[in-house]
Amino acid sequence: MAFQGWKTLTGAGFGAVLLGGLAGSALADNALKLTELSPKGADACFGRVYDAAHLKAHPKQKVARIFFYYGHDPVSRPNEEPTPSDTSYNGFLTTTVRGAKAPQWAGGWCNHESEDGTTGAIRCGMDCDRTLASLKVDDKGRLILSDLSSDIYLDPDAEDELGKAEYNRQALGSDDDNFRLDPMPAATCQAEFARIDPIDPALGDPLRVRLKPDQAFCYGRDYDAAHMGSHPDQLAQSIRVFRGPVELASFASGGDAANWPDGADIAVSVTTRQKAAKVTQTYSCQGEADQWRCAASSKMSDFSCDIAQKEIFLKRGANGTMMLANPNSSVAIVDLCSKAANGKTKSDDKVYRLEPMPQSACAP
């Protein structure tokens, strides 16, 4: 199966999810104090959608849609991330650049810059002492948003990591600042933030809902000779993804059900066409957007090498299936400490569609 559409979360992707995750873990239950933005204390929404004529006249502006929301968390991760619990953030920004299918977003704390916090310019700060934006409201009630950094969705050291050309491609444009946003109903912003990570009704419940913290499960697939003959680059002949007694006991002793699926251990067993012996590896997972990101774990393995960067990704599939993605070289087709494990995975071992199976099919 061709590999596509999975987030490997390196470079810009990691920065966007990191900042988004930090913002998404925060609500604004604290009293709204910026009366300029919210005169009556209710959640406030400001936004603008630029038409084709404006964008043609401003070729260095990448942002086609921009919305700022002041109030309670409008994102409230609907898919695989745990339920937000922190209550500190009150400003949320989302932008969609030209040609993008979904927005990006970040959040922060918005306050007056004066010592008493009641006068002066409004600044929205982020983690790592970064600025989300500066705000002011004009005499017509429109929000003037400035000081928007071009690398707001990137890691702080992204330019060194990505190189100048790729950094410029992923960063916002030189004209992406000093936006004038119109006041809008709160529901408009809520609908815009809902575009970030929508639930696909055809796929059913997220994995974190479908699979409970104290529930064993087994998914797998056995490929027949006809399939293997038509996929000469696929090594995996039989594959299982499961949580059994060992994984359940591990979570019961140290996991937090309120933050499920973060900290969930899963095991992956693979038998290849080259040898009949199974290779099994344990992974520790966390929810990120619409997938579980699972890093190879050493706590229930005999491997002594550094396997921290060996990762797989799980998503829910149609009709109760589970999708397992191996975009790099992470599935335990070989001993993860062997030299062979350092190579790139072949094209036909990147994505697997697994069926639910009885627990006995995943027994050691």
Contact by Cβ (8 Å): 192, 53: no
Dihedral of alpha carbons 30, 257, 250, 286, sign? negative
| Sequence ranges of the domains in the chain | 12-198, 207-362
Contact by Cβ (8 Å): 237, 225: no
Mean pLDDT for the stretch of residues 27-47: 77
**How high is the pLDDT of residue 302?**
47
Distances 61 to 50, 94, 99, 146, 160 between C-alpha atoms, Å:
10, 15, 12, 14, 23
Contact by Cβ (8 Å): 294, 325: no
Separation between Cα atoms, residue 266 and residue 263, nearest integer Å = 10
- How many residues are given for the chain? 364
How does residue 309 score in pLDDT terms, banded at 50, 70 and 90? low
At 240-255, the pLDDT tens digits run 999 999 999 999 998 9
**How high is the pLDDT of residue 344?**
53
Whether pLDDT at 16 is above 70: no
Report the helix count and the strand count for the chain, using DSSP H and E. 8, 16
Mean pLDDT for the stretch of residues 21-34: 45
**How high is the pLDDT of residue 332?**
54
**DSSP H helical segments within the chain, as ranges?**
12-24, 52-57, 158-162, 164-170, 186-194, 207-210, 225-230, 245-254
How does residue 335 score in pLDDT terms, banded at 50, 70 and 90? low
